[in-house]
Amino acid sequence: MHAAEKNSPPALAVFTGKPAFLEPLHVGRPNLGDRKRLYERFDQMLDRRWLSNNGPLVKEFEQEIARHVGVKHVICVCNATIGLEIAIRAADLEGEVIVPAYTFVATAHALQWQAITPVFADIDPATHNIDPARVERHITPRTTGILATHVWGRSCDIEALSDIARRRGLKLMFDAAHAFGCSHRGRMIGGFGLAEVFSFHATKFLNSFEGGAITTDDDALAARIRLMTNFGFAGFDNVIHIGTNGKMTEACAAMGLTCLESIGEVIEVNRRNHAAYAEGLADLHGVKLVGYDDTERNNHQYVVVEVDETATGLCRDALVRVLHAENVLARKYFWPGAHRMEPYRSFFPHAGLLLPDTERIAERVVVLPTGTAVSVGDVGVICGLIRAALGDPARVDERVRTLPQG
């Protein structure tokens, strides 16, 4: 399908029942890399009959990540949530830890799962990252750390957070689930704070089917993390530390290595698609495409748009329903905010009063499809659909209100 012309808006499926795309376009459909190389690694793995327990593919993947990021230690794990939980426990965090509410709920769950209270701090609405000034207001005698998220792969204000942590005697860690391949002031994300945790979930631009990695330059912390990832074993039959099963499998490492070899091509596609969205949505009143700093490296894996209802006449939720009718499965990340999910909305029912920017941004953001499964032509069609919806907002809104929920 060719890109829709800006001056010739398409008929919308909410009226016609005919979607623009026959197959769903997902946010974060997996990038696959070179299948031949993946199958070669699978054959080697099967010939060795070494499927887990720190095999050669996992070791190679860790070495390649360390080289790419520029850190001393990389411990691959079965997923990023387990990685966060292990890193949090290895760092001896307890009591209260300050986190953003504008993040995937796993950031908070990794603390609450271990009976550590996540204390939600508001964000900077310009960056969508945790606001250091708000962090400092939430510090109490029970606070032991800060766990910040590099949202959309755009780095937090690392210097300000580091200064707070240093002055107040807190441990600083980063949820870097979005940020592999991204830099901060010319230095690759992965080596900041006490530790950082990446996600290689299937929806991430670099995926290992399912997986993650903990990165750190702290020798003692890395040693504890390695023990904890494998039940506390130090050699055969010798358990010297409490632990769990957080290991990455060889099959996952094979996929991770294969995707890593194609990382440049994937980033270029993401960059191309982002530029196409920027062109297609240019001068559209009330629609702001979140940009990236051209002086830094970024994976461009997220196409994030803020919709200002007062300017467009159509709320974000209505626009999302319009797109879903077209088989464009846009997402409302990170709505409604972790503080409005359980158990936090029961624990902290009034948290929203202290999170006005989080709540405002959560009501405005929509994330659009990109990646190697999305062409420039697809982007043109999506932009045309958005323009068509916002070209007649009252009629579209009235129609959307009549549609069944769900």
- pLDDT interval class at 405 (50, 70, 90): confident
The model's pLDDT over 255-295, given as tens digits with 9 standing for 90+, comes to 999 999 999 999 999 999 999 999 999 999 999 999 999 99
- The proportion of the chain whose per-residue pLDDT surpasses 90, expressed as a percent, equals 95
Which H, E and C letters describe 157-176, residue by residue? Answer: CHHHHHHHHHHHCCEEEEEC
Print burial letters for 258-284: b (CB count within 10 Å at least 16), e (below 16).
Answer: bbbebbeebbebbebbbebbeebbeeb
Which tokens sit at 311? Answer: 């300017």
Q: Which of 378, 387, 379, 393 minimizes the C-alpha distance to 1?
A: 378
For residue 406, name the pLDDT band (cuts at 50, 70, 90): low
Whether the Cβ atoms of residue 330 and residue 306 lie closer than 8 Å to each other? no
Residues 6+ apart with CB under 8 A from 40: none
∠ Cα 326 328 331 (to 5°): 130
Per the document, the length of the chain is: 406
3-state secondary structure of 111: helix
| Residue 134 structure tokens | 């708000």
- 107-121 mean pLDDT: 98
Q: For domain 13-25+263-330+369-402, which CATH number applies: 3.90.226.10, 3.90.1150.10, 3.30.70.260, 1.20.120.160?
A: 3.90.1150.10
Q: How far apart are CA 310 and CA 315, in angstroms?
A: 8
Q: How much is the mean pLDDT over the chain?
A: 95
Question: First vs last Cα of the chain: how many Å apart?
Answer: 27
pLDDT digits (tens, 9 = 90+) for 213-250: 999 999 999 999 999 999 999 989 999 999 999 999 99
3-state DSSP assignment of residue 147: strand
Residues 77, 246: Cα–Cα separation, whole Å: 5
Rounded CA-CA distance 158/290 in Å is: 20
The CATH number assigned to the domain with range 35-261 reads: 3.40.640.10
Is the pLDDT at 3 greater than 70? The verdict is: no
The string of pLDDT tens digits covering residues 344-372 is 999 999 999 999 999 999 999 999 999 99
- CATH 3.40.640.10 residue ranges of the chain are 35-261
Instruction: Measure the CA angle with vertex 304, ends 131 and 84; round to 5°.
Output: 55
> What's the burial of 342, exposed, middle or buried (CB within 10 Å: 0-12/13-18/19+)?
exposed
pTM of the model: 0.94
Backbone φ and ψ of 81, nearest 5°: -65, -45
CA 274/CA 259 separation, integer angstroms: 20
Determine how β-strand 171-175 pairs with β-strand 195-199.
Answer: parallel
- DSSP secondary structure letters along 218-233: -HHHHHHHHHHHBTTB
Q: Where in the chain do CATH 3.90.1150.10 domains reside?
A: 13-25+263-330+369-402
Angle subtended at Cα 383 by Cα 332 and Cα 307, rounded to the nearest 5 degrees: 40
* Longest alpha-carbon distance in the chain: 71
The yes-or-no verdict on residue 1 having pLDDT over 50 is no
